[in-house]
Amino acid sequence: MAVAAIMEFPEGTLAQYDEAIRKLNFTPGGPGAAGGLFHWVARTGNGIRITDVWQSREQFEAYYRDHVTPVASEVGLQFGEVTLVEVHNYLTAGPSA
Domains of the chain, CATH where assigned = 3-86 (3.30.70.100)
- Count other Cβ atoms within 10 Å, centred on residue 2: 19
Q: Please state, as a whole number, how many other Cβ atoms lie within 10 Å of the Cβ of residue 29.
A: 5
pLDDT of residue 97: 56
Question: What is the reported pTM?
Answer: 0.89
Q: What is the pLDDT of residues 2-30, one digit of tens each?
A: 999 999 999 999 999 999 999 999 988 88
CA-to-CA distance for 78 and 10, rounded, in angstroms? Answer: 6
